[in-house]
Chains A and B, each alone.
Chain A
């Protein structure tokens, strides 16, 4: 029975009669082995080797509608795992059978048994062995031969070609010895059936081990897929039903109980709860969600019951997009692999020519038995050459490296970004939102002795005045008042004066808040307050004068607080050898103060948004490899200009789409993680490429017999087969070492 199963969503089917009609129509479609309808879910499950279009057409002909339901990524993975497991067992079985013949034959040869064919008895015995070997070649190595044949017809040559030619030549030569020994000199009447069988066995073993090791390289995506719930509790027709995720549609209302995962993206309609989003954003603290708030698929509902409306389902959810991006990046090319790619593309025909050339040299100039030597050299060269190790060197490391990044909330767009991140020597950082929280807070409020009233009284007046302002600093004053639960009054005659400040009336009192120019304009004596303002500015705060009813009332200061871990992250980046440049629209004094606190030397202050890109370009002209970290919203041109743009945006959709590297958590540590990871990955790639090159560059001449003058022996084709089989396993295993990568974050 075919294992291909397809699910369709039905339209118009509502009764038992419809079920019979549709199932009957499908039974007549060639390839359909079984068709079953679940009337409750209005779904159709078709088993058999048939195209979805044929099924849909049959349903439509019966008078109904059908739409294919995509298999969930997780389900698809499980199917693939099962297939892989089957393939693995298959390879092992072939390996055991081939070695079952090869090992005794080889032992016979090693223990001094006669491998020569001189008598009719030997001819008969070896003839039987030859036929057994043929069975092994066909059953255990048949795929190499069909692969080689098809590739050959397409003017292509691959690893199958080498294996098929190597083992086929050894078998054909041995059969020639068996059938017509008289054609060959006596010393050359040696059979090599054990080599054919052993090579096929070993290469199957190598492929099985490689398959195993490869499975581990995609562990990261597996983990992300685990976040996806397979079902959702959907409210339809006043009833709650557990539906497979693929059947959930936009607009469905879904209930999530405490301890359950959010199945799709959506907005809360009822209830409130804490939701753990750490798996997507890296943010360790759960976030409170109430009516109207956005929920991401894959996050965990902690303590309350939520009812929400699905807004994005299937491949549209943020989690699905992250998975898609990781998968894409995992299989993207790295520029460093270009040389290996070029070599791969001409590798097999070149090896075939080297094999023929080496064989000719041995045939013309080698010692006796020449025919046997020629054959051994030909076979060994074909078998030892391993295009796989070369081809696998980069993709395997990228696969593990990119996956590892995802585990730490570092989403790398592609192999190119990965390689460039490893070479960065300069990091340009946008101050607001990257080094700081991005939300200014009131830090100081100092009262003039002449002002009648305390801090709260002044704050209340100022907050009441600022209610009408859209300036970001106003929000700081307002939220400070909200925190203190002050009751605000309404402001009258509010006016914002550009480059000065704001003014208006609150409770009949004239209130001014702004800079020195505003105070001068209203002839207000500011006494010694400029010293305080200067001191606050040196600490990186923005200070403003407040005046009430024509006389100074005090000074308030707001600052965008530094992110807690900014200093530690900067120190880590500097230790990695990156020179840090801070960009900001703030004035020089404030900017310098922030830079001092963080240990940053280079500051570019008083910038307009468009200047950021120019500075990145200037640094690049100076020969620097520049990375840029920003929030991905207003610094997009600079992010694009930099060799690697790091978007620190807790994974906003825009950032995911545009940045080279997206940091899911709002911390510069992510940049350091990305740089460390890219360096570790590139180091791993270089080791792999070096290993694969050296293996082939040394292996092929040794197989061709260059060591013969020293050792007096040729490399056995069996050893060549073992070396080849394990070279690619070594490459994959080395790439897997990256799985133990840990970022050097102190926090």
Chain B
């Protein structure tokens, strides 16, 4: 009986991992509604996440994003927009402005150097 419970629990756990990290994460994020737009928002860099992690920007004009880094670990030191060829070193406990060039509509991921911090820039 115990064996059965443990096995079922294990399989359910694996299914939950797949669902939570790969399926639910993709489906719920755009529907979250609270996708801030424009450059006025401050993006908080803390505890392994960018908050907000989805940023909406209009296409065709350059923009400036404001990052406030509160995580002293070196992982959080850089933010990269690989598709836009933009990167910036974030100062600790300060706001760093990151200038982005005008971009075509689409989704552009932004990450830390090690891809542990992840966010998405939605240009529309």
Contacts and interface: CB of A to CB of B under 8 A. Distances in A.
A148 to B, nearest CB: 7
B113 interface: yes
A333 B91 contact: no
Contact of B6 (A84, A211, A363, A414): A363
B17 A158 contact: no
A353 B14 contact: yes
A221 B57 CA distance: 32
Nearest to B88: A331
Most chain-A CB neighbours within 10 Å: which of B24, B73, B88?
Answer: B73
Given A76-B91, A331-B78, A349 B22 contact: yes
Given A331-B89, A363-B3, A395 B113 contact: yes
A487 interface: no
A346 B23 CA distance: 12
Given A332-B80, A333-B80, A349-B22, A327 B49 contact: no
Contacts of B37: none
Nearest to A146: B47
B49 A151 contact: yes
B114 A155 contact: no
B72 A207 contact: no
A391 B74 CA distance: 12
20 contacts: A76-B94, A80-B91, A83-B72, A84-B74, A87-B73, A150-B46, A150-B47, A157-B21, A158-B48, A328-B87, A331-B113, A332-B85, A332-B87, A346-B22, A359-B10, A360-B6, A387-B115, A388-B75, A391-B116, A414-B85
B38 interface: no
A539 interface: no
A532 interface: no
A369 interface: no
B14 A357 contact: yes
B73 A207 contact: yes
A392 interface: yes
B7 A364 contact: yes
Interface string A120-142: 00000000000000000000000
Given A331-B87, A357-B14, 5 more contacts: A90-B72, A147-B48, A151-B49, A154-B51, A333-B80
A683 interface: no
Nearest to B23: A155
Contacts, number: 127
A151 B115 CA distance: 12
Interface in A402-423: 414
Contact of A360 (B10, B24, B80, B115): B10
Given A147-B47, A155-B20, A356-B13, A341 B91 contact: no
Contacts of B61: none
Given A157-B21, A328-B87, A387-B114, A150 B6 contact: no
A341 B46 CA distance: 21
Contacts of B114: 344, 387-388, 390-392, 395
A360 B7 contact: yes
A356 B115 contact: no
B59 to A, nearest CB: 23
Looking at chain B, what size class is its interface with the partner chain?
A: 35 or more
A150 B3 CA distance: 33
| CB-based closest 8 A-B pairs | A391-B114, A155-B25, A331-B87, A158-B116, A87-B72, A147-B48, A349-B21, A395-B113
B73 A150 contact: no
Interface in B11-49: 11, 13-14, 17-18, 20-22, 24-25, 28-29, 46-49
Given A332-B87, A392-B114, A155 B29 contact: yes
A387 B116 contact: yes
Contacts of A360: 6-7, 10-11
Contacts of B20: 152, 155
B101 interface: no
Contacts of A332: 80, 82, 85, 87
A79 interface: yes
A143 interface: yes
Interface in B47-101: 47-49, 51, 53, 72-75, 78, 80, 82, 85-89, 91-94
Contacts of B93: 3-4, 83
A156 B118 contact: yes
B47 A356 contact: no
A160 interface: yes
A617 interface: no
Nearest to B24: A155
B18 A353 contact: yes
A715 B88 CA distance: 40
Nearest to B53: A154
A345 B48 contact: no
B113 A4 contact: no
A345 B112 CA distance: 12
Contacts of A83: 72, 92-93
A90 B115 CA distance: 24
Interface string A458-469: 000000000000
B87 to A, nearest CB: 4
B48 A333 contact: no
B113 A156 contact: no
Interface in A345-385: 345-346, 348-349, 352-353, 356-357, 359-360, 363-364
Contacts of A159: 75, 116
Contact of B21 (A4, A147, A156): A156
Contact of B47 (A143, A348, A392): A143
Contact of B113 (A3, A86, A150, A392): A392
Contacts of B11: 360
Contacts of A414: 85
A521 B56 CA distance: 74
Contacts of B89: 327, 331
Contacts of A349: 17-18, 21-22
Contacts of B28: 155
A90 B92 CA distance: 15
A214 interface: yes
Contacts of B6: 360, 363
Nearest to A341: B115
Given A143-B47, A155-B20, A331 B80 contact: yes
B19 to A, nearest CB: 10
Contacts of B75: 159, 388
